[in-house]
Structure 1
Amino acid sequence: MTYYCPECGNEVECIQGCGSTGYFCNKCNKLISSKAILTEAPTKKDKE
């Protein structure tokens, strides 16, 4: 499944280790909480 950053809308990188999963946005350079990630790509209206 593809996940997206809630801030910029870009695809995030899934990082798995030690039984946990984290998500990292390479554009924002931030770790994203699994509760905050988007499962669908944001529309242009959502980004503005």
Structure 2
Amino acid sequence: MHKKPHLPEKMCPVCQRPFAWRKKWARDWDQVKYCSERCRRTGSG
């Protein structure tokens, strides 16, 4: 079984759930605020 190293996490301000770092966010992790596109649309609207 493959064990992932501990990844940084943030809390989504919309759904209040923690979400972990993803490779697609590697370049702009500091700017990521929402766990998903759906929460991003809900939060900015």
Please report the TM-score for the alignment, with normalisation by the length of structure 1: 0.32
Using the size of structure 2 for normalisation, the TM-score is 0.33
